[in-house]
Chain A
Amino acid sequence: MVKGHQSFIFESKPVILASATSAGPFEAQGPLAEDIDLIHDDIYLGQDSFEKAEKLMLEGAAVKTMEKAGINKYDVGLFISGDLMNQIISSSFTARTIGIPYLGIFGACSSSMEGLSIAAAYVDGQKVKYVLTGASSHNSSAEKQFRYPNEYGAQKPPTAQWTVTGAGACLLSTQGNGPKVTGATIGRIVDMGISDPFNMGAAMAPAAVDTIEAHFRDMEIEPDYYDIIVTGDLGSIGHKITLDKLIENGMRISEKTYKDCGMMIYDSKKQQVFAGGSGCACSAITVYGHFLNRMRRGEIKKMLAVATGALHSPLSYQQKESIPCIAHAVAIEM
């Protein structure tokens, strides 16, 4: 059901039966390692390219999710997935392996929540019994495609972020036990003229502000409705900008409830990640792993996950375009 201008309430409350995450060795050194199901100590996963490794990571997360739910892949009605690669090859090749009817999406780093909101809409609206959704990213393949060769000596500024190597997936169902997806707010493109690809936090913050405000406006609730509001990968700079902007605009939100996956997935004191983590896997691993586990343990009852994405390409940057960004919010309640 449509609520307000750009939000949806999923009345049948699709259930997240299971979720699984995979990650690389660098993420294993971070504070959320306990909540990661498949940890790989080789960023190549034994493959001969980073792109092939990323595919295997997403596959691993998808297969593990279905295993945890006890559902056979032939019973899954839909697979919705996205990643950072050109033509989203990681998702498409994973879909080839698992053979489920497939919708590929591109939301850059907002793919995880974009996928979850579409999946919930299919379960709630079309009554598809099981829908699998996921997202992945790989630091080395993202650097190769968007920035410089991995061994190239370019000095990163303090506003840069570290793309997370990993994948996360979850299985939605019309019935069962588990956290429930109760609503979603689909974001609009917001572009504040920032064109520096080494400053994604500042570029994406306005989109996060726009979607978060739209969510509370549409749903006619206050921020204290949620125990946790978490953005995908704004990093320390984008998080600060978003918090200040929301407070300036009159929202009663505080640092106690508002967190950012990019700041949580790495230990910024021990790991050199500049402003924090980024990439589709950042929100996927933190939400599908850490936060859903906390919900299952009863520590969190209501969460708003807002994944943010920067929708530029290396070409648009070279053509002197700025970076259009988007944020998608999904409400998950126990």
Chain B
Amino acid sequence: MASNKNNKLNLEQQKYQSFAQKREPRRPLLSNCLKAFISGGAICVFGQLLHFMYIKYFSFTENNAGDPTAATLIIISVLLTGFGVYDTIAQWAGAGSAVPITGFANTISSAAIEHRSEGYVLGVGGNMFKIAGPVIVYGVFSAFVVSIIKMLVNYMGGI
């Protein structure tokens, strides 16, 4: 990817960019990955505990306990976003807070909260999916493509 970009830059620009890069602090990859591992893992463990709780105390089954678990995580994430805490956690956790479903809820709620000053229809309604939109679009489209491919594969005798 880096070499691709360099092809579009002239020599002076390339020389400058390597000059600049030497003076920029590197992203702390190892510590970021460690923090993401810990926080992402912790959120998943919390989800697992919720899962067990819903099966034991609310008579859900192994199959459908995923729904209230997801809903609970989403509500907690929305509350943390609303209280202005989620972004502070995310600065530390990085992908550990963005990749779980809590990150998805954060994108929707943060955009909704941000744009209430533009009204509830065009502001909140119109901007809610600013960051979550691509996730839904690409999720749906890839599910569509994969199922079509599976359908064709089965039709042609299966592999």
- Asked if chains A and B are in direct contact (CB within 8 A), the reply is yes
Residue in A151, A152, A155 whose Cβ sees the most chain B Cβ within 10 Å: A151
Nearest-CB residue, chain A, relative to B127: A149
Verify if A237 is at the interface (C-beta below 8 Å from B).
yes
Nearest-CB residue, chain A, relative to B94: A155
Q: Which residues on A sit within 8 Å (CB–CB) of B12?
A: 192
B20 touches A151 (CB 8 A): no
Verify if A241 is at the interface (C-beta below 8 Å from B).
yes
A149 and B87 alpha carbons, distance in the complex (Å): 10
Residue in A148, A156, A193, A199 whose Cβ sees the most chain B Cβ within 10 Å: A193
Contacts of B1-52 to chain A: CB distance below 8 A: 5, 8-9, 12-14, 16-17, 19-21, 23-28, 32
A115 to chain B, nearest CB (A): 27
Given A49-B117, A148-B131, A193-B9, A153 and B87 contact (CB-CB distance below 8 Å): yes
A58 and B25 alpha carbons, distance in the complex (Å): 34
Residue in B12, B20, B84 whose Cβ sees the most chain A Cβ within 10 Å: B20
Nearest-CB residue, chain A, relative to B92: A155
Q: Which residues on A sit within 8 Å (CB–CB) of B27?
A: 157-158
Verify if A150 is at the interface (C-beta below 8 Å from B).
yes
Q: Which residues on B sit within 8 Å (CB–CB) of A237?
A: 20, 23-25
Q: Which residues on B sit within 8 Å (CB–CB) of A194?
A: 17, 20
Nearest-CB residue, chain B, relative to A156: B91
- Among B55-63, B65-73, B104-112, B139-147, the one that faces the other chain is B104-112
A290 to chain B, nearest CB (A): 26
Q: Which residues on B sit within 8 Å (CB–CB) of A63?
A: none
Q: Which residues on B sit within 8 Å (CB–CB) of A202?
A: 17, 20-21, 23-24
The main secondary structure of chain A at its interface with chain B is: loop
Residue in A50, A152, A158, A245 whose Cβ sees the most chain B Cβ within 10 Å: A152
B109 touches A151 (CB 8 A): yes
Verify if A221 is at the interface (C-beta below 8 Å from B).
no
Q: Which residues on B sit within 8 Å (CB–CB) of A193?
A: 5, 8-9, 13-14, 16-17
A271 to chain B, nearest CB (A): 13
Residue in B17, B19, B28, B131 whose beta carbon sits within 8 Å of that of A245 in the complex: B19
The main secondary structure of chain B at its interface with chain A is: helix
Chain A residues touching B, range: 20 to 34
Contacts of A234-250 to chain B: CB distance below 8 A: 237, 240-241, 244-245
Q: Which residues on A sit within 8 Å (CB–CB) of B32?
A: 155
A241 touches B9 (CB 8 A): no
Q: Which residues on A sit within 8 Å (CB–CB) of B81?
A: 151, 153
Residue in A51, A154, A159, A206 whose Cβ sees the most chain B Cβ within 10 Å: A154
Contacts of A191-225 to chain B: CB distance below 8 A: 192-195, 199, 202, 205-206
Residue in B21, B87, B98, B110 whose Cβ sees the most chain A Cβ within 10 Å: B87
Per-position binary interface string of chain A over residues 152-191, scored 1 when its CB falls under 8 Å from any chain B CB and 0 otherwise: 1111111100000000000000000000000000000000
Residue in B82, B84, B114 whose Cβ sees the most chain A Cβ within 10 Å: B114
Verify if B130 is at the interface (C-beta below 8 Å from A).
yes
Contacts of A48-104 to chain B: CB distance below 8 A: 48-51
B23 touches A240 (CB 8 A): yes
Given A193-B8, A202-B24, A237-B23, A149 and B113 contact (CB-CB distance below 8 Å): yes
Q: Which residues on A sit within 8 Å (CB–CB) of B114?
A: 144, 149-152
A50 and B32 alpha carbons, distance in the complex (Å): 31
A182 to chain B, nearest CB (A): 32
Q: Which residues on A sit within 8 Å (CB–CB) of B98?
A: 153-155
A85 to chain B, nearest CB (A): 13
Q: Which residues on A sit within 8 Å (CB–CB) of B130?
A: 149
Q: Which residues on A sit within 8 Å (CB–CB) of B23?
A: 202, 237, 240-241, 244
Q: Which residues on B sit within 8 Å (CB–CB) of A205?
A: 20
Q: Which residues on B sit within 8 Å (CB–CB) of A48?
A: 117
Q: Which residues on A sit within 8 Å (CB–CB) of B111?
A: 149, 152
Q: Which residues on A sit within 8 Å (CB–CB) of B95?
A: 155
Residue in A150, A152, A159, A244 whose beta carbon sits within 8 Å of that of B24 in the complex: A159
| 10 pairs from A and B in contact (CB 8 Å cutoff) | A51-B117, A149-B131, A150-B110, A150-B114, A158-B24, A192-B20, A195-B5, A202-B17, A237-B23, A240-B23
Q: Given A159-B25, A193-B5, A193-B13, 8 other A-B contacts at CB below 8 A?
A: A48-B117, A51-B117, A149-B111, A151-B114, A152-B131, A153-B81, A157-B27, A159-B24
Residue positions of B touching A, CB distance < 8 A: 5, 8-9, 12-14, 16-17, 19-21, 23-28, 32, 81-82, 84, 86-87, 89-91, 93-95, 97-98, 103, 106-107, 109-111, 113-115, 117, 130-131
